[in-house]
Every structure is written in C-alpha cells, then in structure tokens.
Amino acid sequence: MRGPIEELLSGRRVQSSTRYLVASSLCFILLHLGARAAEHPVPLGTNPDSTVCIQCHQDKAKGKFVHTVIAAQGCSACHTVISKKKRTLVSLVLPPNELCFTCHEKVNDKVLHAPYAQGNCIVCHSPHASDWPKQLLAPPQELCMGCHVRSRLKIDPQKRTATVPWGITLPLDQFQGMPSLGLNQALTANHPVEGHPITGPNTDLGKDAPDITCLSCHQPHHSDRLNLLPPGFATATALCESCHREIDP
C-alpha cells in the first residue's frame, strides 16, 4: 500500500531527476554510484588523502571515541572524492543506510529494532567520532528516551518529519509502530510496571552494581526475544529475578 508519505517522496524524486538531466555528466555518473554527490566548497586537487581532509575537518578524526576505520583506512573508506579541473565532488561510497553493513554484519534475529533494520545506524552512532563509547551520539539512556518519550520528539506535521533531541531529523514513516512509554512526570519511573525505576542506583544488587538504564533490560539492535529483551533469560520473570533475588527460597 502506498501511503501519503510515499506519494510525497516519489513526487520529489520525479522532480529532481528532471534536474539531473541538465547536470554535468560527471555529476550524473556519481549520482548513479548510489549516493548523492555534492560539490565540495573547496577544490581539493587530485587524490587528496586523509591528512588533507583533517586539516579542515579535525573534528572528524578527533574525540574521546574515534571510529577505528578513520585511522586504519582514512576518509576514503566511506567518502569518494573526485576532482576534475577546478571542481571537486564528494559523495558517500554507498547511501548511509547501506554503508555500515559493508563492514558490520546485519544480524538476522527474530526481533530487529526498527532503526537498526532500516540501516539508520547514524541516528545513534557518529560515523566519525563522539564523546561517548561506541561513538554514540548521546548516552544510551538519552538515545532511547529521545524516541520513546513522546515529549522529547519534535514532530513537524507539515514536513512529515521528527527530530530527536540531539538534532537528527528523520521522515515520520520511519517511526511507524513506535511505542511511547508512559513515564512519571520526572521521567524516572513507571516502566515496565508502575513505580519501577528506569534510572538511578540498582539498589537490589547492592551499591556497587551499575545504575539501571534501558540497557539493563533491552538490547539496542536485535534480540531473539520480544521487546528486545536481553538473551540468557528463559522468561521475562527470569529477567526480573536477576535483580529481585528471592530472599526466601
């Protein structure tokens, strides 16, 4: 079934392909390599390597957590750079939603988290570098709540997009079927059962236990269990009991 969003998108594609006809043949070829090519604001000469790129884009190679590929393979692992005369075109070697799967296997589990299945890795990870482990764009809890707490998501009904708190905008149809959590006003509790904390010290396991986060009970990518529950627990009750250890056997 074609919804209004699909109609809208296909309408746009027809429009821009008319423009492509008058674009240069170089541009044409790049566009058909799969990813959108853009003219780089500065001509870069032939075969610029990563050290040239980093002169102006330091932030892409520096940070607390840098993607291993950057040092190992350089920018060209993901960006194609073609210079001709005084123009330089840059594009991604593949569209963003296919790019990451060229090196990271797509796991085919029973339950796939929608943004993972869609290849929307860069809604949660920087392809370059960030201040959080695994190049996450925010602490995990903030990522999860950015989509699953309705008041945190900014929806633009005209453009049919939604913007997460860390600034990435996606088409609304990518949020289809997304459950919102009915948390308390302070956004600290009421999930998965009333009064249950989703943050703060895991008092049931003693004071050295890591704090409770969404990742205490969910996988971010995929799982063989409904609701992305972690592996290794035969039932949801077994998950509960991993913290709520019975005192009287």
Q: Which is nearer to ligand HEC, 8 or 192 (CB)?
A: 192
Q: Which two tokens stand for residue 196?
A: 């249950």
Position closest to ligand HEC via CB: 195
CA nearest 152: which of 168, 138, 165, 141? 165
Site for ligand HEC in 140-179 (CB under 6 A): 140-141, 143-148, 164, 175, 177-179
Site for ligand HEC in 192-211 (CB under 6 A): 192-193, 195-198, 202-204
Q: Which is nearer to ligand HEC, 7 or 59 (CB)?
A: 59
Site for ligand HEC in 82-141 (CB under 6 A): 90, 92, 96, 99-100, 102-104, 111, 113-116, 119-125, 127-128, 134-136, 140-141
DSSP state of 203: G
Number of residues interacting with ligand HEC: please give it, by CB under 6 A.
Answer: 92
Q: Which is nearer to ligand HEC, 1 or 204 (CB)?
A: 204
Nearest-5° Cα angle at 192, 232 to 164: 100
Q: Which is nearer to ligand HEC, 171 or 192 (CB)?
A: 192
Q: Which is nearer to ligand HEC, 27 or 220 (CB)?
A: 220
Relative to beta strand 79-84, strand 169-171 is: unpaired
| String of DSSP letters for 96-157 | HHHHGGGTS-----SEE-HHHHTT-GGGTB-SSEESBGGGBSS-HHHHHHHHHSGGGSEEET
Binding test (CB under 6 A) with ligand HEC, winner from 10, 17, 169, 227? 227
Residues forming a β-bridge with 65: 130
* Nearest distance in Å: CB 86, ligand HEC: 14
| String of DSSP letters for 59-104 | GGT-SSEE-HHHHHT-GGGTEEEEEETTEEEEEESS-HHHHGGGTS
Site for ligand HEC in 45-84 (CB under 6 A): 48, 50, 52-57, 60-61, 67-70, 73-75, 77-79, 81
